[in-house]
Amino acid sequence: MAGSEYHEGVEGDVNKDYDVIIIGGGPAALAAAVYTCRALLKTVILEKKYLGGQLVGTELIENYPGFPEVIGGFELTQRMEAQAKRFGAEIRYEEVSKLDLEKGLKVITTDVDKYASPIVILASGADPKKLGVPGEEEFYGKGVSYCATCDGAFYRGKKVVVAGGGDSAITEGIFLTKYAQTVQIIHRRDEFRATKIYLDDAFSNPKIKVILNTVIESIYGKEKVDGVVTQNMVTKEKTDIRCDGVFVFIGSSPNTSFLGNLLCVDAGCHIETNIHMETAIEGLYAVGDIRKNSYRQIATAIGEGVTAAIAAEHKLAELKASGKLKK
């Protein structure tokens, strides 16, 4: 592995031992690490909490190729971690607070150390926005979900509630009708923000019931979700709605605060990339939920991680050949 080739770039007490630094520890990050390590590039993953990201909170996964018997998110994460480590990936549990550019290198500051590398892959993910109501955290993975594509099939013949009023809420609600007996879409305003064509499809679907001017006040149950309590914003009337699942689609918040003004992002703070997952900054890549137009699926996140890793390998060779990297 190349490792410590970049000593003449950034001065001071900085760890310059890595060819590739990956920020985040979800499926995209772990997939990227497998490929960069197999390319003999010394790689470190910087993860602030735990590996797997939102994958860990998914109880059962049945749409990931190669596991016809389904697999739990925690177990799948463990397998990905073992594979990345087998090829030499290092994993450090540190929170990234800042990313700067200096003399052709990306300089990363964490709560533990400071790093510099020519290649950085951003895979810090996005957290779904929460309702912030009682029962939401307690029943996450036990009836509360933020991904219909991931969990919808577990609700065949059952009653579900969807919270939200944008395109995601409507399209995911329509998707859920493939499995659920009924889908009640609850929105706090008097009209939806979603695209008209999606709304037309939803309103014409006999399985969908729309409830406007209403918020979910709490989610309740014993071992799993049994229902929600709602309140009408106009009449203040409270209603108990029995259901088996609650799907929340009120947006997501990419973990991009450490970038400051370094990159141009969209209104939702997602990062734009080219087809190689490279951002507007050479040698800086973005993959997974942090990326604009991401499909937020395990399989696509892994594909993006692999794409970025291969592109990064080629980019590093190009930088060395051009003399942009001082040895």
The CA distance from 318 to 315, in Å, is 5
Active site residue 37: no
Give the neighbor-by-neighbor strand order of the sheet with 238-242: 214-221, 225-232, 238-242
Q: Between the CA of residue 66 and those of 3, 61, 63, 86, what are the distances in Å?
A: 34, 11, 9, 20
Point out the catalytic residue in the list 17, 19, 147, 289: 147
Active site residue 240: no
| DSSP letter assigned to residue 325 | S
Point out the catalytic residue in the list 151, 243, 244, 289: 151
Radius of gyration of the chain (CA): 22
Q: Would residue 80 be called left, alpha or beta, if left means φ above 0 and alpha means ψ between -120 and 50 degrees?
A: alpha
Q: Between the CA of residue 299 and those of 31, 51, 236, 274, 306, what are the distances in Å?
A: 10, 16, 43, 19, 11
Point out the catalytic residue in the list 17, 19, 37, 150: 150
What backbone phi and psi angles, to 5 degrees, belong to 246?
A: -130, 120
Active site residue 269: no
- At position 260, the amino acid (one-letter code) is G
- At position 205, the amino acid (one-letter code) is N
Which residues are catalytically annotated?
147, 150-151
